Amino acid sequence: MSEFSTTEITAGDEDLHSTAVPGNSRKVFIKTYGCQMNVYDSERMEDALSGEGFVQTNSMEEADLVLLNTCHIREKAAEKVFSEIGRIRQLKERRAGTGKPLTLGVTGCVAQAEGEEIMRRAPAVDLVAGPQTYHRLNDMVSKAASGERVIATEFEIEQKFAQMPQIERRSAIARGVAAFLTVQEGCDKFCTFCVVPYTRGAEVSRSPAQIIEEAKRLRDAGVREITLLGQNVNAWAGTLEGRSLNLGELIFELAEIDGVERLRYTTSHPIDMHPELLTAHRDVKKLMPYLHLPVQAGSDRVLKAMNRHHTRAEYIDLIAAIREARPDMAISGDFIVGFPGETDADFEDTIQVIREVTYASAFSFKYSPRPGTPGAELDAQVPETVKSERLQVLQDLLKEQQIAFNKACVGKQMDILLEKRGRKDGQLIGRSPWLQSVVVDGEPEEIGHFIRVRVTHGGPASLLAERA
Ligand code: SF4
C-alpha cells in the first residue's frame, strides 16, 4: 500500500481547472483517485495531452476523452472502477451516433494490476495504461480514438522520466503556489500488505538535473512551496556533475534555488532516513519541520510479519534522532490495525508507540487483504469486529494528539504561505510550516505571499489566526 493519504479528486474540484476552453478543441476529463502521486500524474497527463490540442473540461458530458486515473489501495478498488465504467458506458452509447464519440481510458494502479481483466470485462474501455507508460499517452490515445483497443502495462519508468514533457508554465501557474514534484517512483520494500511494488514496479529515481529544472520552472510560474513525491521518496538517489547524491543532498541543492521558499517530501520509509537527511532537517531552513514517517504497527512480531525491515525500537530511536536534529519537528504516520495474527498485546504495542512518539496527524486503516500480496495468504485473519474496535481506539488517540498539537499552537507566531481563498469573502487559507491549514483575513491579491500570523484558535483540522 502506498503510504500517501488517499482522496478522490475530480478535475474541476479546484479553481485551477477553470481554464477557458476554445470552442473547437478536443476536451479531456480526468477523474483522479488516490494519492498525491496520482494527482501529479494526472496533471502531467493533462500537460502531455495539451500538446495534442486537448484542453481540460470539468464536465464528463462534454469530454471527447475520459480518463479514470485509478488507485488500488482501497478495498474492492477494481469493482468500483468497473461500476464507474458501467456509468460511462451509457454516456458513450448515447454519444455513439452523434458524430462526437467518446474515448474512455483507465490509467493508474488498477489499470496496471487488472489491465487484462478490464479489457476482457469492459468492452467500453478503449485504453488501459499503467503508470509507467504515460510518456506514450498521446500515441495511445490517438490509436484508441481511431478504434484500436490499446493496453500498455509495461514497466518503462526510466523512459517515462526521460520522455515526459517538462511541466508547462501555463499549467504550473494554474496549479497554485504549492506544487508536487515527483522525484522517485516504485518500491523495493515489499511490505506484505501492499500492492505498490506490483503496480508501480521497482524503485527508480528521476535525474537531479531534471528535478532541478522542474523546480525552477515551478518557481518561475509562481510556486513557492514544493513537495517532493515518491512512493519511497527517501530512497531517491542520483548523480549530479559526477557527484552521487541522496535525498538529503538533493534537498541542499534545491534549497539553493531563489524563490523556492519551502520544501517538503513524502512518503518516507524509516530504513531510508540517511544521516544527510537529518542534517538537511537541521541546517536547511527551507525544509519544513514536518515529516510523514509511517510505522504501520508497534509490535516487532507484526512489523516482521509485515516485512517492514525495522523494529519498534529502531523507529523510536530514529524519531528521537530526527527531533534532536530539528526539535520542533511534527511527525505524521500511517497505521494498519488488524494485520493477520495481530493480538491484543500487539495492538497495545502500537498504542504505546503512538503515546511515545505523539503524532501531529496520521492516517489509519483496517487491514484488508490485497489479492496477490503475501498478507492475503496468511491464516489468522483478524475478525472485522475486532479490527473496527481497535481502529476506533487508535483513531481516538490520534485525534486527541492532533487536537493537542493544534491547540498548542495557540498564541504562537508563525509564517504562513497564503494558498487560496477561504470559504467566506475576505478570508484566505494559508499553510503553516507544520502543514496545518490556517484561516486568516486577507485579500486574494495576497495569495502566493508569506505573512506572519499569531494563532488565535486551534481546531481539530485547522487553525484560525490574525496578523502578527
Ligand atoms: S514501503 Fe511498503 S507500504 Fe510503502 S509502498 Fe513500499 S511496499 Fe508499500
Cell numbers representing residue 372 in the block: 496477490
- 105 and 212 housed in the same domain: no
Q: Residue 334 Cα, ligand 1 centroid: separation in angstroms? A: 11
pLDDT at res. 156: 80
Strand partners, 56: 28
Answer yes or no: do 244 and 207 share one domain.
Answer: yes
Residues 153, 251 within the same domain = no
Asked if 270 and 394 sit in the same domain, the reply is yes
Q: What is the pLDDT of residue 79?
A: 85
The residue among 179, 180, 239 whose CA lies nearest residue 205 is: 239
Cell numbers standing for residue 268: 518516507
Answer whether 268 contacts ligand 1 (Cβ < 6 A): no
Domain boundary among 112, 140, 159: 159
Q: Whose CA is closest to atom 1 on ligand 1?
A: 189
Query: Which DSSP letter does residue 296 get?
Result: B
Q: Which pLDDT does position 155 carry in this prediction?
A: 82
Residue 187 Cα to ligand 1 middle (Å): 6
Domain of 434, in residue numbers: 413-467
- Indicate the top mutation candidate among 2, 38, 188, 196 to test ligand 1's pocket, ranked by most ligand atoms within 8 A of CB: 196
Residues 307 and 350 in one domain: yes
Q: Quick one: CA dihedral 276, 277, 278, 279, positive or negative?
A: positive
Whether 190 is in the pocket of ligand 1, judged by its Cβ within 6 Å, is yes
Ligand 1 in reach of 92 Cβ (< 6 A): no
Q: Strand 225-229 vs strand 262-266: parallel, antiparallel, or unpaired? A: parallel
- CA of 242 from ligand 1 middle (Å) equals 30
Instruction: Report how far residue 174's alpha carbon sits from residue 399's, in angstroms, rounded to the nearest whole number.
Output: 34
**Residue of the nearest CA to atom 5 in ligand 1?**
2
> Are 236 and 262 members of one domain?
yes
4 CA distance to ligand 1 middle (Å): 10
Structural domain includes residue 2: no
CATH at 144:
3.40.50.12160
Query: In this structure, which residue's CA is closest to atom 3 in ligand 1?
Result: 1
DSSP, residue by residue, 18-51: -----TTSEEEEEEEEESHHHHHHHHHHHHHHHT
Q: Which of 388, 407, 426 finishes a domain?
A: 407
**Closest residue by CA, ligand 1 atom 4:** 2
Quote the ligand 1 centre to 390 CA distance (angstroms): 22
pLDDT of residue 2: 41
Cα–Cα distances in angstroms (integers) from residue 123 to residues 84, 99, 218, 337, 390, in the given order: 13, 20, 40, 38, 42
Q: How far is CA 96 from CA 90, 101, 468, in A?
A: 10, 5, 60
Using the mean position of ligand 1's atoms as its centre, give its distance from the Cα of residue 410 in Å. Answer: 36
Q: Cα 450–331–184 angle (5° rounding)?
A: 80
Statement to judge: residues 293 and 390 lie in one domain? yes
With a 6 Å cutoff on the Cβ, whether 1 touches ligand 1 is: yes
Grid coordinates representing 70 are 485509478
Report the pLDDT value the prediction gives residue 24, as an integer from 0 to 100: 60
| Binding site membership of 2 for ligand 1 (Cβ less than 6 Å) | yes
Q: By the 8 A CB rule, do 274 and 251 touch?
A: no
Q: What's the 352 CA to ligand 1 centre distance in angstroms?
A: 23
Residue 1 forms part of a structural domain: no
Please report, in tens digits, the pLDDT of each residue of the chain (468 residues total): 444 333 333 333 332 233 334 446 899 999 999 888 898 899 889 988 988 889 999 999 999 999 999 988 777 778 889 999 999 999 999 988 788 899 999 999 999 988 999 999 999 999 999 998 999 999 999 999 999 999 998 888 777 787 777 777 776 777 789 999 999 999 999 999 998 899 888 999 999 999 999 999 999 999 999 999 999 999 999 999 999 999 999 999 999 999 999 999 999 999 999 999 999 999 999 999 999 999 999 999 999 999 999 999 999 999 999 999 999 999 999 999 999 999 999 999 999 999 999 999 999 999 998 888 999 999 889 999 999 999 999 999 999 999 999 999 999 999 999 999 999 999 999 999 999 999 999 999 999 999 999 999 999 999 999 999
Query: What single DSSP character describes residue 139?
Result: H
The model's pTM is 0.87
The one-character DSSP state at 168 is P
Is the residue at 223 inside a domain? yes
Q: Is the beta carbon of 198 within 6 A of some atom in ligand 1? A: no
Task: Note the pLDDT of residue 157.
Answer: 76
The answer to whether residues 427 and 416 touch, using CB atoms and an 8 Å cutoff, is no
Last residue of a domain, one of 141, 159, 177: 159
Q: Whose CA is nearest to atom 8 of ligand 1?
A: 1
Closest atom, ligand 1, to C-alpha of 308: 2
The alpha carbons of the chain give a radius of gyration, in whole angstroms, of 22
Contact 272, 309 (CB under 8 A): no
- Total domains in the chain come to 3
